Structure 1
Amino acid sequence: MFEPSRLLRVFGDIRREEIVTALLMTGTLFLLMAGYYVLKTVREPLILMSGTGRLSGAELRSYSGAMQALVLMVLVPLYGRVAARVPTVKLVIGVTVFFVVNIQLFALWAWLDLPGIGVAFYIWLGIFNLAVIAQFWSFANDLYRLESGARLFPIIAIGAAAGSPVGAFITGLLIRDGVDVYRLMQVTAVTLVLCAILIHAIHRRETVSRPAGASTERPLQLRGGFRLIARSGYLRLVVVMIILLSVVTRNGEYMLSRTVLEAAQEQVVERSEAAIAADGVHATMGRLGGGRADTLPSSPVDAAADRSGGLAGAMPVSRATEAVADVVRDAVSAADETLAREIVRDRTRRFIGGFYGDFYFWVNLLTLLVQGLLVSRLLRVGGMAAVVLLLPVVSLGVYAIFALGAGFAMIRWAKTAEKVVDYSVMNTARALLWLPTTREEKYNAKLAVDTFFVRFGGVLTALCVFVAGDLLAWSIPAFAAANVVLALIWLWFAFRVVRENRRLQDSVPEVAQSGRDAVH
C-alpha cells in the first residue's frame, strides 16, 4: 500500500501523523512567497518612474530603503502591544488581513492617480515581505517543539524555494497577457486570503489533535521586541550575526552589479569597434539598435524596469554607459550623437537584463534542489553548526575569489553559490534559531530581528558603498578584501550563536519546548 510519508522522506524525516499539517504549512509559505514576487514586479516601475525634478527614481529607491528602518522603529513596539491583547493565531491572521486591506488602499490610490504612490509602496513592500515571513516562522516555532521543528522546518521551507520562481513565472505570463500592474496587486491579495484560511485550518487541526491547549490560543506577555533583545545575550548575538550577514551579502550584490555593468560595457565597446571598422557607422548603429538605426528603448517604463534589474547600488546606466557611447559618437556627426547614446544604453540594458534573467533562473532552480534534497540531510549529519556556519564559510571563499581578481564567469558562479546557500540552508537555519526561545521572543523579538535589524544592515551597506565606492573609489578586489574581513567577523559571531543555541537547547525540558514563558 502506498504511503505518502515514504515519498516525503526523500525531502526529510517526517512521520505519518505530521504529513497534513506540514503540507499545509508548506503550502502557506509557498503562497506567501509567490504573492510577494508578484508585488515585487509591481514595485520597480512605480518607484523608478516616480522621480522628481531634484531626485531620480533610483535615488528615491535608495532613500526609501532607509525610511523602512525608521518606520519599523515604530511598528515593532506597536506589534508587541497588539500581541499582548489577542491570541497569537488571531494576531497572525489579523496582520495578514491588515496587509490585504493595505493592498486595496494602494489599488485605490493608483486608480485615483494621486502622487507619491511609488515611494509609499516601496516602503510598505519592504516591510511587508519581511514581516509576513517572520510572522510565519514565529507561528511555526510556536507550533512545533524542538525535535519536530528540527526535522520538519527543512521540508516546510521548500514552500519558499518553490514559491519564488513560480510567483515570478506567473507574473511574467500575466504581464505578457496585458494585465496592468494594479490588477496584479489583487493576485497577491487573493494569496494572502488563502494564507489566512490555511493558518486557521492548521490551528484548528492542531487544537483538536492536542486538546491540552495549543500555545497559539494564548496572548503574549507585554514585552517589546527591542526590550527582549536587550535582555538576552543569545538574541544580541543573533542580531549581530544577522546584521553582518546582511552587510556582507549586500556588499556582494553591489560588487556583482559593478562587475556585470563593466562586462556589458566591454562587450558593447568590442562589438561597436569591430562593426564600425568593418561596416561603417550607420550600419553598426542599425545592428546595435536591433536592425534599425532609429530603434530606441520601447518605453520609459520598459527602460526603467530594465535598468532596475540587479543594479541597486551600482552606477545608473545613463552615467555608466557614457564612455561606451563615445565609441559610436566619435564616428558620427553631431546630429547622430543622441541616437548613438540611446542605442548603446539600450544594448547595455539588454546585456544586463539577460544576465540577471539567466542568473536568477539558476539561483532559483539550485535553491529548490538544495532545499528539497540536501538541507535536512545536512542538518541531520552536522546539526545546527553545519547550517549556521556554512554560509559565512562560503562567503569567505566567494569574496576571496573576488579579491584575487577572478574573471567574470568565476565571479558569476561564486555569487550563485552564495545566494543558493543563503536562500536554502541559511533561511532554514534562521528559522531553527528560535526553537529554544520563549513565545514572546518567537514573535516580538523575531519580528524586530527579521525586519528592523535586517533593514539596518541595508543602511550600513549603503554607507559602505558610499564611502568605499564613491568617496574612496575602491576597486572591486579592494572592496572584496574588506568583505573578507567582515565575513571572518561574521563567522566568529556565528560560532558563538551555535554554542549559545546548544546551551539553550540543553536547558529546555521537552515538555516546555513548545512555548516557554520565562525570559532567560
Structure 2
Amino acid sequence: MSDNSPRRSLLSATAHLLGIEDREFAAVAWSFAYFFCLLSAYYMLRSVREAMAIVGGTENIPWLFMGTFFAMLLAAPAFGWVASRFPRRQFLPWVYYFFIANILLFFAAFTYQQNNGLDQVWISRAFFVWLSVFNLFVVSVFWSFMADIYSKEQGRRLFGIISAGGSTGALLGPLVTSALVVPIGFRNLLPMSALLLAFAVFCIFRLRRWATTRDEKQDNQQIGSGIPIGGTALAGIKLLATSPYLLAIATAMIIANFLGVATYMYMAELVDATFADTDQHTRVFAILDAIQNALSFIGQLILVRYTVRKLGVGITLAILPVVSVLGFALLAINPVFIVIAAVQVLRRSITFGLTKPTTDMLYSVVSAEERYKAKNFIETAVYRGGDLIASWTIRFIGGIGLTGVALVCVPLAVIWTLLALRIGREYKQRDDALLQSKTG
C-alpha cells in the first residue's frame, strides 16, 4: 500500500496541474492513447505522401489536389449515409478497419511495383490522394467522438491535453520515419502504421464502455446508444448552407488553407531543388514535422487551456491569423528557404497547438447531426475544395513570385483575424443560451 502511495500522489498532482478530475482520468488516458496512435500512424506516412508529390512532379500538385477534392466528394456522402443508418458505436470502428485494409493494399502495391521494376508515378499519385482523404476523415471522426463523450466544460479543460496525445504521436511518427526510411525503405513503414491504427480501434472500445457507464451529459444522444443519428446522406451540406455559424467556420478554414497551400507548394519546389531522391525528401519533411509537432505539444499540453480560459475562444482563434500576417509580411521582404521553413513550422505548430483544439470546441454547442455530418463535410470536402482552389489560384498567379504571393496572403490573414473574433462571439452566445436552457 505504501509503495503505491507516492505514485498515486504523483498521478493526482499531475492530474490537478492539467485540470483533470479523478473520474475523468481513465477516459483522458484512453483518449490520449487513441489520438497518439492515430497521428503516429498518419505521420509515419505523411512524409511519404509529400515525397510522392515530388515523384509525380511538383508542377502537377494542383492536379493532385483536384483528385483529392473529387475523392472527397464521393467519400463525404458515403460517410453521411453510414452515419444516418448505423449507430455510432457500430460505424466508428469500421471507419478505421476500412483504412487499415487500404494501408495494407498500398503496401502490397508498392512492394509489387518495386519487385517488378514498374513505374511508380501513378501509384504515388493514388497514395497522395488516398492519404489526404484518410487524414481528414479519421481525425474528423475522432473529434466528433470526443465532442460526443465530453461536455462543453470538459472540452475546454481536456481537449488541449487530448490534442497533446496527437502531437506526441505526430512527433514520434516523423522521428521513426526519418530514422528508418532510408535503411528499410518507405513502403515498409505502412504495416507499422496499420498496427498503430488497429490499437486506436481498441481505444475506441474502451472509451465507448466509459461513455455508456458514466452518469453525466444525459442531454445528448449517447455514443453507446443503439439509435442512429438519422437524417439523410447529404444533410451535412444543408446544415452548413443554413447555419451562419458553420459557414463562418468553413470560410475561416478556406482562408487558412489558402495560406497553408501557398507555403506548401513553394516548400516542395525548394526541397526538390535542394535534395537528391525520394528517401532524402521524406527525411527532410519528417524533420520539419518533428520540430513543429514538438512545439504543438507544448501549446496543447500547457497553453491552450489557459488561453481559452483567460482570453476566450475568439482571441485564441485569432492568434494564428495575426502570426500569419507578420509571417507573410516577413516572407515578402525576404523570400528564402530558411524564412519559408520557419513560417511553415511556426504556423503549423500554432495550428495544432492552439487553433485546432479550440476549433474542435466550437462543435460542442451544435447538434449531434451537425457534429458528425456538417463537421465531417466541412473538414473533408470543403477543406479539400479549399486546397483545390488555393493550388490552382497560386499556380495561376505564380508569375508574381513568392514575394507577390506572400503579399496577397497578408490581407487574407487580416480578414481571417476578424472572422475568428466573430466566431468566438457566436460560440459564447450559443454557450450562454445552452446554459440558460438547462438552468431555466
Kept in 1, the 8 Å contact 2:96–2:197? The answer is: yes
Aligned to 1:267: none
* Cα separation, partners in 2 of 1:15 and 1:166, compared to 1, 3 Å: same
1:231 maps to 242
**What is the Cα deviation at residue 382 of structure 1?**
1.0
Residue pairs, 1:462-473, within 5 angstroms: 462-469=391-398, 473=399
How far did residue 496 of structure 1 move?
A: 1.9
Partner of 1:458: 387
Written as runs of structure 1 = structure 2, the 5 A alignment for 1:435-454 is 435-454=364-383
Deviation at residue 22 of structure 1 after TM alignment? 0.6
When residues 357 and 92 of structure 1 are mapped into structure 2, their CA distance, relative to the original with a 3 A threshold, is: closer
The separation in 1 between residues aligned to 2:145 and 2:254, in whole angstroms, is 23
The question of 1:476 aligning with 2:405 is answered: no
Question: Against the structure 1 CA distance between its residues 9 and 457, is the aligned structure 2 distance closer, same or farther, given a 3 Å change threshold?
Answer: farther
Return closer, same or farther for 1:259/1:123 CA change in 2, 3 Å cut-off: closer
Taking the aligned partners of 2:392 and 2:359, their CA distance within structure 1 comes to 25
Give me the whole-angstrom Cα distance separating, in 1, the residues matched to 2:177 and 2:437. 45
Q: CA deviation at 1:220?
A: 0.7
Give the Cα separation in 2 of the matches to 1:360 and 1:215. Answer: 33
Instruction: Report deviation, 1:378.
Output: 1.2
Match of 1:139, SS state, is helix
| Structure 1 residue identity aligned to 2:13 | R
Cα 1:416–1:142 shift into 2, 3 Å: same
- Is 1:400 the counterpart of 2:329 in the alignment? yes
Name the residue aligned to 2:206.
201
Q: Choose 357-366 or 404-413, whichever is displaced more.
A: 404-413
Q: Does 1:219 align with 2:220?
A: no
| Residue identity in the other structure for 2:423 | V
Residue 147 (structure 2) aligns with: 141
DSSP 3-state at the match of 1:157: helix
CA displacement at 1:30 relative to structure 2: 0.6
- Residues 1:190 and 2:195 are matched in the alignment: yes
Q: Which has the higher helix share?
A: 2
What is the match of residue 118 of structure 1?
A: 124
Distance in 2 (alpha carbons) for counterparts of 1:511 and 1:86: 30
Counterpart pick for 2:320 among 391, 397, 415: 391
SS in structure 1 of the partner of residue 365 of structure 2: coil
How far residue 235 of structure 1 moved from its aligned partner, in angstroms, is 0.7
2:172/2:290 contact within 8 Å kept = no
Deviation, structure 1 residue 410? 5.7
SS of the counterpart of 1:26?
A: helix
> Is residue 2:360 matched to residue 1:431?
yes
Change in 2 beyond 3 A, CA 1:491/1:205: same
TM-score (norm. length: structure 2): 0.87
- Does the aligned pair in 2 maintain the 1:77–1:226 contact within 8 Å? no
Mapped partners of 2:101, 2:403: distance in 1: 47
Indicate how the Cα distance of structure 1 residues 215 and 175 shifts in structure 2: closer, same or farther if over 3 A, else same: closer
Within 5 Å, give how 1:84-123 maps onto structure 2.
Answer: 84-113=84-113, 116-123=122-129
Cα deviation digits, residues 200-240 of structure 1 (max 9, x gap)? 11101221223967344231122421121112121111111
Secondary structure of 1:481's counterpart equals: helix
Per the alignment, do residues 74 and 138 of structure 1 end up closer, same or farther by CA in structure 2, a change over 3 Å counting? Answer: same
Q: 1:403 to 1:104 in 2, by over 3 A?
A: closer
CA distance in 2, matches of 1:498, 1:202: 29
- CA distance, structure 2, for counterparts of residue 70 and residue 123 of structure 1: 10
1:8 corresponds in structure 2 to: 15
- When the two chains are superposed, the root-mean-square deviation of aligned CA atoms in Å is 2.8
Shift of residue 66, structure 1, vs aligned partner = 1.2
Q: Which runs of 5+ in 1 are unaligned?
A: 50-55, 265-296, 310-352, 514-520
Q: Which residue is 1:362 aligned to? A: 291
CA distances 1:297-321 after superposition (whole Å, capped 9, x unpaired) = 9xxxx61344577xxxxxxxxxxxx
> 8 Å contact 2:270–2:337 — kept in the other structure?
yes
CA drift at 1:180 = 3.9
Match of 1:246 in 2: 257
Alpha-carbon distance in 2 for matches of 1:130, 1:478: 30
Shift in Å at residue 252 of structure 1?
3.2
Unaligned runs of 5+ in 2: none
8 A Cα contact 2:175 2:286, kept in partner: no
- The one-letter amino acid of 1:450's match is E
- Alpha-carbon distance between aligned partners in 2 of 1:258 and 1:508, rounded to the nearest angstrom: 49
CA gap of 1:253–1:189, structure 2 versus 1, over 3 A, is: closer
Matched, 1:420 2:420: no
Amino acid at match of 1:504: R
User: For residues 282-293 of structure 1, what are the structure 2 equivalents within 5 Å?
Assistant: none
Task: Please say if residues 42 and 185 of structure 1, whose CA atoms lie closer than 8 Å, have aligned partners that are also in contact.
Answer: no
Preserved CA contact (<8 Å) 1:401 1:411 = no
Deviates more, 1:230-239 or 1:365-374: 365-374
Asked if the contact 1:143–1:216 (Cα under 8 Å) also holds between the matched residues in 2, the reply is no
Residues 1:163 and 2:165 aligned together: no
Change (3 A) 1:19 1:89: same
Aligned CA distance change for structure 1 residues 103 and 510 (closer, same or farther; 3 Å):
farther
Query: How far apart are residue 60 of structure 1 and its match?
Result: 4.6
* Whole-Å separation in 2 of the counterparts to 1:47 and 1:250: 13
How far did residue 34 of structure 1 move? 0.5
